Amino acid sequence: MTLQNTGTDHRDGTDDEPNGREKITDLETAIADYVHDGSSVAFGGMGGRDPEAAAREIVRQKKTGLTVLDDARTTLLDIMVGAGCVDEYVGSWVGTSLISQGHNIRNAVENEIPHHLQMRDVSNFGSSLMFLAGAMDVPFVPTRSMLGTDIPEHNDALEIIDDPFGSGDKLTLVPAERPDVAIIHVQRCDPLGNAQIHGNVVNDHLKARAAEHTIITCEEIVSTDEIRKTPELTRIPFYTVDAVAEVPFGSHPWHCYGRYYADLPFYREYGLRSQNREDFLEWLEEWIIPHEDYLEKIGADRLETLERMEHEINAPAEVRS
Amino acid sequence: MTLQNTGTDHRDGTDDEPNGREKITDLETAIADYVHDGSSVAFGGMGGRDPEAAAREIVRQKKTGLTVLDDARTTLLDIMVGAGCVDEYVGSWVGTSLISQGHNIRNAVENEIPHHLQMRDVSNFGSSLMFLAGAMDVPFVPTRSMLGTDIPEHNDALEIIDDPFGSGDKLTLVPAERPDVAIIHVQRCDPLGNAQIHGNVVNDHLKARAAEHTIITCEEIVSTDEIRKTPELTRIPFYTVDAVAEVPFGSHPWHCYGRYYADLPFYREYGLRSQNREDFLEWLEEWIIPHEDYLEKIGADRLETLERMEHEINAPAEVRS
Amino acid sequence: MSEEIPAVDDPEHPERPGIEHKEATDSSNPLGVDRPNETAEDYTLTELLAVTAAHEIADHETAFIGVGMSLMSGVLAKYTHAPNCQLVTESGYIGSVPPGVVQSISDSVLGVDALVATDQCEIFTDNQRGAFDVGIIGAGQIDSRGNTNSTVVIGDQSYDRPKVRLPGSGGSNDIMTSCGRTVVMMRQKRRAFTTDVDYKTAPGHLEYPGHREELGFVGKGPCAVITDMAVFGFDDDGEMVLESTHPDVPVEDVRDEVQWELRVADEVTTTREPTRAEVAMLRTIDPADVVLRGTDYVYEVGFEEWSETVLEHWRQLQSIQDE
Amino acid sequence: MSEEIPAVDDPEHPERPGIEHKEATDSSNPLGVDRPNETAEDYTLTELLAVTAAHEIADHETAFIGVGMSLMSGVLAKYTHAPNCQLVTESGYIGSVPPGVVQSISDSVLGVDALVATDQCEIFTDNQRGAFDVGIIGAGQIDSRGNTNSTVVIGDQSYDRPKVRLPGSGGSNDIMTSCGRTVVMMRQKRRAFTTDVDYKTAPGHLEYPGHREELGFVGKGPCAVITDMAVFGFDDDGEMVLESTHPDVPVEDVRDEVQWELRVADEVTTTREPTRAEVAMLRTIDPADVVLRGTDYVYEVGFEEWSETVLEHWRQLQSIQDE
């Protein structure tokens, strides 16, 4: 059990920080502190607000033997699998979108390149529920999804039972998953770890709660007073969070609602260059670099254009909060 | 099953309302249409944002034999029980607060005045989970709450099982409840039934989903375009809602976050006058009147003062959204 | 919902909307195309599919949609014959009015003018409760009862090391289980229309009539399969039935691409062709042909031109919407 | 949370904070009272209880609190020795800074400056996961192992038609099950300190040592009972132990109000008295004595004076907070 205790040794007396313990760190330190070889990791977002920079940092730090516990997962998983970081994936959907096909994932599952990727499938709702059960600290949550199909046949963690209340219905029991670490990218967070999400939340509130440790990467660290203005948007409270790193454009090349649009040309280039191993390794060489260097390489003009695009369709954060 | 189908007969062709089917009605009609003798009803809020006006309208329409499926419930239940509307209560807490004691509820349970009130206790979390299970359309959701206590001893609907995953832990299974109607009071709602909640939500999002029918009473009906500006606050979506009634000061004498503070002197008077049957019946005579008349009787100055008080501590809605 | 609205478990409900030509109203021709209801002179096969799928969504329905063709069809329906339908996406947006092509399930164009921004667990909770009318999904394989596979083509190998790893269920299992009715969009290939799917990802009409009801499903399962050759419905036994073929496609050609003995409607019609208004609207939604023709040209032009093109399209669709 | 922070299941953790006098800092004397750390010359018994309960909350802790005395103690802690504690209430607010007395669990003063406004299911989900450090609850009856009854006094009657119907569990069952540790506040009456509660609403140390662990509870159960006569802790067996009596209360008087053979600490101390700073702050939080003295006078004065009084108090506390 680690989702607990904002408190510390109660006897050590007063603390001068007016707002409690601060958790600010940098991306490199956060990954080094919480993601270890063999860790299980859940990532936030879903083809939008994904913690892409954090995943690239995991690759840069050459973590191995990871299990990714997740829902639907796109680019960042494909990169990590191609780079040899991941041994197992538990989730609902892998691939990418219209213009890229998860080449590394297929290559790992079908051809064991760079090594075999073990898959354990659930449905999307099953994925939400495995985190819900983890967040609730109960062994399982029941659902009607996945009944009558082969998903439970190939995922031994799922159980099918008869409704103990005697309705005659069958139910799928989805067991709790508790990732060692959840990594969630959000628009804003305060130094205590109160993370606010604009727009859709996907399963991020549940992943942060289910995980033993949570790293928040955010576009912007704001003051705790700023958080207090819209408490309804704090979907991840401080007591579930261990580290907060300000990582602007941390979802590039994906979207960050209200902040910037997806860089689809960059993404397409990844899709093309991940089609064969040699090109992919060159892509890694080129783009697995510290996030500051990455952004510089992308270029300020390009980033600004992506911001302008998003602001054209969705009101920017400063207007919304 | 009724929580479905915003659609209707698909074959009847186009509809000129640009935003879909409107559900606006008045309070009297909403109660008459959805609350029947013998109905099970869940109320929103919890000593704040309670649908007090709707409950008084139920009393005014002399509904009987109701089952109240709920979490913690205060004044409105005490009034309804005293007026003889309620046969059974399933929930976590009855009473009131500091200055009133749920006299009618005690009188009904202990002395069968005006008639016996059957109680079925759960804990607060149990109450959340019975609505969660109803909202999810599963027979139950498991919890660790209530184990080792007498709550399951006296509530036959709860089951204790051994964890089927073999942890050796025991679990309480909380069965789904599906009220015939949920009545939720919110700050704002559009004509389609997209209900936005400022501040805390209690179990309202779950009650609306679990119920067969949902009535929204709101301080203010706003346009659908207004709702689109802060989609994160729409905790109850249109497809769970059947009727929308604009009922300003619909939570009086309780608080409505961001709108008005609780009228505690009014509330205290209720506490005093509900201590004996004769005084209570006089109170009913005086205050069970159409909501417009009720507000007039309270007085515009007094209502304005309550608004001013709330705005002193919590930013008003027009600032927040 | 009020009494007069049919429920999901009302046998009437899962019937698909008719696609007869209707008098065009302003809302079904927002671009102001001349002779909007006439059959388009030129349209692509993909445009035909998008229009056919769009007509599976009736006005006022909630439509649970994914990326690509599925969403394209939903957006088209909303901009044409079903202005009051509401789009639902599994990442947490409800009721949005996307100003263009969607690249991912959390694409921020799905946030545009959304009525609700929530989480995935709540969306699927509502789905399981039966809140949504129609879903549109894709699949890699399908059998005669509409059971689909989007997980693995095993071939003579294994689930763990399959011949082809497909993306997985995503929401398709949950939608087929619980959504009022489900439309499946697929390529018509003999190897995909199989007597036995390699892996049952999403439940069609399962093994026998009544099987879904036995399991307590609130959704009625697959109601239609739309391919590049034909449109199929399902009969009371839960068996797929050829209903229409696309223009110039003989029934025999469809049979050749199905492994089982295909049931065929007494009167196989020709799939209704897109109208001028529909094709014009589709090209406005996806002017760069990303979904409709699967071309990448908009990405090949370089970042600057790409961003300008996309911005221009958004503005165009938003101005339609504002009118 | 990071490794060096003790976990709930760390045997060290559920230990209660010490209540030794500490050097007053600015934050513990925001009113600028003279000689803030000296024992208050005049204080009521209720003020003593509120201060004693407040000291069960340490700085930086999350405190799960209800209305009345429980919240009063939480607010006092936050305004004095524990400025970084965060208050959690079951209706959905976390981290608020209430500017005064709270009348109900959804009182909008609980929304003031909240860090999180969410729903009850999420609050109790987090509670069950072990997120909260300390809870403060009330009860009608308690036994020697801290099992409490707040549901029914059955007497010689039945659950259905009891002698006295109490309010019910509220969150007290959930808090005692899962909160890091729980403080119970009660009146010291022989009929309430009973060998066998009429109905077990919230789980104390249950029937025997290790019983809670067997059931898999993450919370450590009751750690203290604060009454109008004394303060009790629990020993390793889970049995209640008298730790201190309030000034001028003999141990024998406490024994008389307990039905079982009370265990008594080797050295029973006198409950620490409130300081001048603490009493001044309490009177600022509740100047109308609504909680502290249970008087209704502020409501008797008529609506206008009531509203002006309340507004004045809010402004006073907010000005303290702004400093």
CB atoms inside a 10 Å sphere around CB A285: 9
pLDDT (tens digit, 9 = 90+) per residue, B145-160? 999 999 999 999 999 9
Q: How many Å lie between the alpha carbon of C87 and the closest alpha carbon of chain B?
A: 12
Instruction: Give the pairing of strands B181-189 and B213-221.
Output: parallel
By CB atoms closer than 10 A (0-12, 13-18, 19+), residue A1 is middle
Domain count, chain A: 1
Lowest mean pLDDT among A62-71, B56-65, B91-100: B91-100
Going by pLDDT thresholds of 50, 70 and 90, the confidence category of residue B264 is confident
ipTM above 0.90, yes or no: yes
Tell me how far apart the alpha carbons of residues D150 and D85 are, in angstroms, rounded to a whole number. 27
Asked if B163 is an interface residue toward chain A (Cβ–Cβ < 8 A), one would say yes
Q: How many Å lie between the alpha carbon of B232 and the closest alpha carbon of chain C?
A: 5
Going by pLDDT thresholds of 50, 70 and 90, the confidence category of residue C7 is very low
**Largest CA-CA distance found in chain D, in angstroms, rounded:** 57
The whole-number average pLDDT for the span B122-140 is 98
Strand partners, A174: A141
Query: Which residues on A lie below 8 Å from D110 (Cβ)?
Result: none
**A79 is a domain residue:** yes
Across the interface, do D121 and B313 touch by the CB < 8 Å criterion?
no
User: Phi and psi of B313, rounded to 5°?
Assistant: -105, -30
Q: How many Å lie between the alpha carbon of C300 and the closest alpha carbon of chain A?
A: 8
Asked if A21 is an interface residue toward chain D (Cβ–Cβ < 8 A), one would say yes
The whole-number average pLDDT for the span D296-322 is 83
Going by pLDDT thresholds of 50, 70 and 90, the confidence category of residue B50 is very high
**Largest CA-CA distance found in chain A, in angstroms, rounded:** 63
Query: Which residues on B lie below 8 Å from A137 (Cβ)?
Result: 144
Across the interface, do C5 and B194 touch by the CB < 8 Å criterion?
no
Between residues C13 and B241, which one has the greater pLDDT? Answer: B241
pLDDT of residue B88: 98
Residue of B149, B150, B202 lying closest to D106 (CB–CB):
B202
Asked if D318 is an interface residue toward chain A (Cβ–Cβ < 8 A), one would say no
How many Å separate Cα D20 from the centre of its chain? 18
Asked if A207 is an interface residue toward chain C (Cβ–Cβ < 8 A), one would say no
By CB atoms closer than 10 A (0-12, 13-18, 19+), residue B2 is buried
**A247 is a domain residue:** yes
Across the interface, do B232 and A138 touch by the CB < 8 Å criterion?
no
Residue C19 predicted with pLDDT over 80: no
Those chains having 3 or more beta-carbon pairs within 8 angstroms of chain A are B, C, D
Place of tokens 């429980």: D70
Q: A10, A24, A178, A209: which to substitute to probe chain D, counting the most D Cβ within 10 Å?
A: A10
Angle made by CA atoms C289, C293, C296, in degrees to the nearest 5:
60
As separate numbers, helices (DSSP H) first and strands (DSSP E) second, chain C gives 9, 14
Residue of C104, C128, C211 lying closest to A97 (CB–CB):
C104
Q: How many Å lie between the alpha carbon of B62 and the closest alpha carbon of chain A?
A: 35
Residue C20 predicted with pLDDT over 80: no
**A39 is a domain residue:** yes
Structure tokens given for B95: 């009473």
Domains of chain D as residue ranges with CATH? 45-295 (3.40.1080.10)
pLDDT (tens digit, 9 = 90+) per residue, A184-236? 999 999 999 999 999 999 999 999 999 999 999 999 999 999 999 999 999 99
Tell me how far apart the alpha carbons of residues A14 and C31 are, in angstroms, rounded to a whole number. 67
Structure tokens given for C249: 């496609």
Asked if B140 is an interface residue toward chain A (Cβ–Cβ < 8 A), one would say yes
**B159 is a domain residue:** no
Structure tokens given for A244: 């907060």
Query: Which residues on A lie below 8 Å from D22 (Cβ)?
Result: 13-14
Residue of D7, D12, D85 lying closest to A4 (CB–CB):
D7
**A4 is a domain residue:** no
Q: How many Å lie between the alpha carbon of A304 and the closest alpha carbon of chain D?
A: 31
pLDDT of residue D101: 78
CB D136 within 8 A of CB D56: yes
The whole-number average pLDDT for the span A110-126 is 97
CB atoms inside a 10 Å sphere around CB A282: 11
pTM of the entire predicted model: 0.94
User: Phi and psi of A42, rounded to 5°?
Assistant: -115, 140
Lowest mean pLDDT among A19-23, A112-116, D208-212: A19-23
SS3 content of chain B, % helix, strand, coil (to 5): 35, 20, 45
In sequence order, the 6+-apart residues with CB closer than 8 A to the CB of A287 are A56, A294, A297
Tell me how far apart the alpha carbons of residues C47 and C54 are, in angstroms, rounded to a whole number. 10
The CATH number assigned to the domain holding A210 equals 3.40.1080.10
Question: What is each CA distance from C66 to A71, A125, B64, C21, C233, in whole angstroms?
Answer: 15, 14, 47, 27, 21
| Residue D12 DSSP class | T
Tell me how far apart the alpha carbons of residues D65 and D73 are, in angstroms, rounded to a whole number. 9
Across the interface, do A110 and C173 touch by the CB < 8 Å criterion?
no
pLDDT of residue C175: 98
As separate numbers, helices (DSSP H) first and strands (DSSP E) second, chain D gives 9, 14
Instruction: Give the pairing of strands B170-175 and B140-143.
Output: antiparallel
Strand partners, B27: none
CB C6 within 8 A of CB C12: yes
The mean pLDDT of chain A is 91
CB B58 within 8 A of CB B35: yes
Tell me how far apart the alpha carbons of residues D203 and A200 are, in angstroms, rounded to a whole number. 39
Asked if D160 is an interface residue toward chain B (Cβ–Cβ < 8 A), one would say yes
Q: Is A121 helix (H, G, I), strand (E, B) or coil?
A: strand
Residue of A126, A148, A154 lying closest to C215 (CB–CB):
A148
Across the interface, do A237 and D129 touch by the CB < 8 Å criterion?
no
Q: How many Å lie between the alpha carbon of D262 and the closest alpha carbon of chain B?
A: 23
Residue of A121, A262, A306 lying closest to C103 (CB–CB):
A262
Q: C71, C120, C309, C321: which to substitute to probe chain A, counting the most A Cβ within 10 Å?
A: C120
pLDDT of residue D6: 29
Tell me how far apart the alpha carbons of residues C81 and C277 are, in angstroms, rounded to a whole number. 10
pLDDT of residue C63: 97
Query: Which residues on D lie below 8 Å from B97 (Cβ)?
Result: 67-68, 103-104
Structural domain that includes position B190 = 24-122+178-313
Q: Among all residues of chain C, which has the CA nearest to that of A103?
A: C165
Give the amino acid at C193. Answer: F
Those chains having 3 or more beta-carbon pairs within 8 angstroms of chain B are A, C, D
Place of tokens 């087929």: C176
Q: How many Å lie between the alpha carbon of A43 and the closest alpha carbon of chain C?
A: 14
Residue D61 predicted with pLDDT over 50: yes
pLDDT (tens digit, 9 = 90+) per residue, C282-321? 988 887 666 666 666 666 788 999 899 889 888 988 887 7
Structure tokens given for D291: 């909680």
pLDDT (tens digit, 9 = 90+) per residue, B233-252? 999 999 999 999 999 999 99
pLDDT of residue D298: 67
Chains C and A touch (3+ CB pairs under 8 A): yes
Asked if D317 is an interface residue toward chain B (Cβ–Cβ < 8 A), one would say no
Residue C26 predicted with pLDDT over 60: no
CB D82 within 8 A of CB B287: no
Asked if D200 is an interface residue toward chain B (Cβ–Cβ < 8 A), one would say yes
Q: How many Å lie between the alpha carbon of B242 and the closest alpha carbon of chain D?
A: 22
Q: Among all residues of chain C, which has the CA nearest to that of B224?
A: C115
Angle between helices B75-82 and B264-273 (to 10 degrees): 30
% of chain D beyond a pLDDT of 90: 73
Q: In sequence order, what E strands does chain C have?
A: 62-64, 86-88, 93-94, 116-117, 134-138, 141-142, 148-149, 152-153, 164-165, 181-185, 222-226, 230-234, 240-245, 263-270
Asked if A138 is an interface residue toward chain D (Cβ–Cβ < 8 A), one would say yes
Give the amino acid at D92. Answer: G
In sequence order, the 6+-apart residues with CB closer than 8 A to the CB of B151 are B121, B122, B123, B126, B158, D151, D169, D173, D201
Those chains having 3 or more beta-carbon pairs within 8 angstroms of chain D are A, B
% of chain C beyond a pLDDT of 70: 88
Asked if C159 is an interface residue toward chain A (Cβ–Cβ < 8 A), one would say yes
Going by pLDDT thresholds of 50, 70 and 90, the confidence category of residue C322 is confident
Q: Among all residues of chain C, which has the CA nearest to that of B196?
A: C116
Q: Name the D residues in 50-69 with CB < 8 Å from any A CB.
A: 58-62
Q: Supply the DSSP string of D99-148, one letter for each residue.
A: -S---STT-GGGGTT-SEE-BHHHHHHHHHTT--SEEEEE-SEE-TT--E
How many Å separate Cα C146 from the centre of its chain? 15
**B284 is a domain residue:** yes
pLDDT of residue B235: 98
H/E run at residue B283? helix B277-287
Instruction: Give the pairing of strands B170-175 and D134-138.
Output: unpaired
pLDDT (tens digit, 9 = 90+) per residue, B180-238? 999 999 999 999 999 999 999 999 999 999 999 999 999 999 999 999 999 999 999 99
Tell me how far apart the alpha carbons of residues D96 and D245 are, in angstroms, rounded to a whole number. 33
pLDDT of residue D294: 62
Q: Supply the DSSP string of D210-252, one letter for each residue.
A: THHHHHT-SS--EEEEE-SSEEEEE-TTS-EEEEEE-TT--HH
% of chain B beyond a pLDDT of 90: 85
Across the interface, do A21 and D84 touch by the CB < 8 Å criterion?
yes
Residue B12 predicted with pLDDT over 70: no
Tell me how far apart the alpha carbons of residues A86 and A88 are, in angstroms, rounded to a whole number. 6
pLDDT of residue C313: 85
Q: A230, A233, A234, A320: which to substitute to probe chain B, counting the most B Cβ within 10 Å?
A: A230
CB D115 within 8 A of CB A238: yes
**A3 is a domain residue:** no
Could you tell me which of B281, B237, B284 has the C-alpha nearest to residue B55?
Answer: B284
Q: In sequence order, what E strands does chain B have?
A: 24-25, 40-43, 66-69, 72-73, 86-91, 93-94, 118-121, 140-143, 159-162, 170-175, 181-189, 195-196, 213-221, 234-236, 243-246
Residue of C104, C117, C203 lying closest to A74 (CB–CB):
C104
Query: Which residues on D lie below 8 Å from A15 (Cβ)?
Result: 59-60, 84
pLDDT of residue D27: 59
Across the interface, do A71 and C291 touch by the CB < 8 Å criterion?
no
Across the interface, do B149 and D201 touch by the CB < 8 Å criterion?
yes
CB B77 within 8 A of CB B71: no
Could you tell me which of C25, C110, C126, C8 has the C-alpha nearest to residue C66?
Answer: C110
Q: Among all residues of C, which ones are annotated catalytic?
A: 90
pLDDT of residue A207: 98
Tell me how far apart the alpha carbons of residues D188 and D191 are, in angstroms, rounded to a whole number. 9
Q: Is D265 helix (H, G, I), strand (E, B) or coil?
A: strand
pLDDT (tens digit, 9 = 90+) per residue, D223-278? 999 999 999 999 999 999 999 999 999 999 999 999 999 999 999 999 999 999 99
User: Phi and psi of C77, rounded to 5°?
Assistant: -60, -45
Query: Which residues on B lie below 8 Å from A167 (Cβ)?
Result: 139
Q: How many residues make up chain C in this entry?
A: 323
Residue B5 predicted with pLDDT over 80: no
Residue B257 predicted with pLDDT over 60: yes
% of chain D beyond a pLDDT of 70: 88
% of chain A beyond a pLDDT of 90: 85
**A221 is a domain residue:** yes
According to the 3-state scheme, what is the secondary structure of B207-259?
HHHHCCEEEEEEEEECCHHHHCCCHHHEEECHHHCCEEEECCCCCCCCCECCC
Query: Which residues on D lie below 8 Å from B205 (Cβ)?
Result: 119
H/E run at residue A167? none
Query: Which residues on C lie below 8 Å from A72 (Cβ)?
Result: 105, 168, 170
Tell me how far apart the alpha carbons of residues D319 and D323 are, in angstroms, rounded to a whole number. 7
Residue B10 predicted with pLDDT over 70: no
Q: Among all residues of D, which ones are annotated catalytic?
A: 90
Going by pLDDT thresholds of 50, 70 and 90, the confidence category of residue A107 is very high
